[in-house]
């Protein structure tokens, strides 16, 4: 039970860097000696020292004979930083609890092998499920070469995201809107369809919390994004527009002149699967989809969504022409409908936040 307490502390502090370590994982480390925590550390940003190094530096000579609790197998390779496994051995740590093995093929058990070969006792699997959930983004990206995709929307009790006249501000409460901006902060990119750009002219920046702006990705098959759109003129974040080979060359050129990056894929419609692979290749490990019903269905239908977050407000809008959270062609059979797994519902201000996974985690 005590071992679990120390590992939970490692998991807790790892979350301090949510949204800051991409494309690296979130990692926390706790060093214990004589029944007391003597040092802690977490990975703070890609390219900087790993969690274990921060903890070892804090412990100093006290590391000798101590026990290390770490949420992910210590690395064994030279990347942007030296291998942590070697540093652990040199520090004289006697035992290591690692929640899970590193799924990165560059590590994949080799860090554990280094430790055991040096006489360090290693146990793997303590709070493994919690550790996998902590790094669900990293695990998908490093094993499948795809970003982890979260579909987020705010809707009324009857599933409407806007009235028939297009009014949508504000269906959700202030607490929900603030949490939505937190989601922007911790995701690498935010994705919408061009229809949302034309209807709302959004900024897609993080404003209600202190944080970073995500990369903005617009799915725009025909390059219809207006040249005076906020996403082109505010210079607040990197912006990518995905077009097709049929998009007018002159419009693509004009967008590039505004500093936009263009990804071209597909003929009639943007090939979303290819787009996701391209984003992953650019070390974009997580994507928040925050658009309209058309792009929502397209992403779900393509099997690209991992997690759904729905902010349901205690309002009824009605109207057959009111916009709904998921539109498009829809699924023809109930057996094809998306059923969320690991489903949860919790109050958030006046709203209910419903969350669940499209696939098992």
For each of the chain's 361 residues, which pLDDT tens digit applies?
699 999 999 999 999 999 999 999 999 999 999 999 999 999 999 888 999 999 999 999 999 999 999 999 998 766 666 789 999 999 999 999 999 999 988 777 889 999 999 999 999 999 999 999 999 999 999 999 999 999 999 999 999 998 888 777 788 999 999 999 999 999 999 999 999 999 889 999 999 998 999 999 999 999 999 999 999 999 999 999 999 999 999 999 999 999 999 999 978 899 999 999 999 999 999 999 998 999 999 999 999 999 999 999 999 999 888 989 999 888 999 988 999 999 999 999 999 999 999 987 5
pLDDT of residue 259: 93
Task: Report whether 310 contacts 354 (CB < 8 A).
Answer: yes
Task: Quote the CA–CA distance of 6 and 3 in Å, as a whole number.
Answer: 5
Task: Report whether 66 contacts 93 (CB < 8 A).
Answer: yes
Catalytic residues, by residue number, are 52
Task: Report whether 31 contacts 6 (CB < 8 A).
Answer: no
pLDDT of residue 114: 93
pLDDT of residue 79: 62
pLDDT of residue 266: 78
Q: What is the pTM of this model?
A: 0.93
Q: Two tokens at 47? A: 């390219």
Residues 6+ apart with CB under 8 A from 23: 46, 138, 141, 142, 283, 285
pLDDT of residue 122: 96
Task: Report whether 193 contacts 294 (CB < 8 A).
Answer: yes
pLDDT of residue 169: 78
């Amino acid at each position: 039970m005590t071992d679990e307490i120390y590992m939970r502390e490692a998991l807790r502090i790892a979350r301090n860097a949510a949204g800051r370590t991409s494309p690296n994982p979130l990692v926390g480390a706790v060093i214990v000696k004589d029944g007391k925590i003597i040092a802690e550390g977490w990975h703070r940003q890609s390219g900087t020292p790993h969690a274990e190094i921060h903890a070892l530096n804090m412990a100093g000579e006290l590391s000798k004979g101590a026990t290390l609790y770490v949420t992910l197998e210590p690395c064994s390779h030279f990347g942007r930083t030296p291998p942590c496994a070697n540093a652990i051995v040199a520090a004289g740590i006697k035992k290591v609890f690692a929640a899970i093995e590193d799924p990165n093929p560059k590590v994949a058990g080799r860090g554990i092998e280094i430790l055991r070969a040096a006489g360090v006792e290693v146990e793997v699997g303590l709070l493994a499920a919690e550790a996998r959930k902590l790094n669900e983004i990293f695990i998908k990206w490093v094993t499948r070469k795809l970003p982890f995709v979260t579909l987020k929307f705010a809707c009324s009790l009857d599933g409407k995201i806007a009235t028939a006249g297009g009014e949508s501000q504000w269906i959700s409460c202030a607490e929900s809107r603030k949490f939505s901006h937190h989601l922007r902060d911790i995701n690498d990119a935010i994705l919408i369809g061009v229809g949302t750009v034309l209807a709302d002219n959004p900024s897609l920046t993080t404003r209600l919390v202190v944080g970073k702006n995500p990369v903005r990705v617009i799915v725009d098959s025909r390059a219809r994004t207006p040249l005076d759109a906020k996403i082109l003129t505010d210079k607040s974040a990197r912006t990518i527009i995905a077009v097709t080979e049929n998009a007018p060359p002159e419009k693509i050129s004009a967008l590039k002149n505004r500093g936009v990056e263009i990804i071209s894929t597909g003929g009639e419609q943007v090939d979303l699967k290819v787009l996701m692979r391209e984003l992953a290749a650019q070390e974009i490990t997580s994507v928040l989809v925050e658009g309209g019903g058309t792009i929502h269905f397209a992403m779900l239908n393509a099997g690209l969504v991992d997690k759904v977050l729905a902010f349901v407000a205690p309002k009824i809008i009605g109207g057959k022409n009111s916009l709904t959270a998921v539109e498009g062609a829809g699924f023809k059979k109930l057996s094809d409908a998306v059923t969320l797994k690991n489903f949860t519902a919790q109050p958030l201000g006046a709203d209910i936040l419903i969350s669940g996974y499209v696939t098992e985690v």
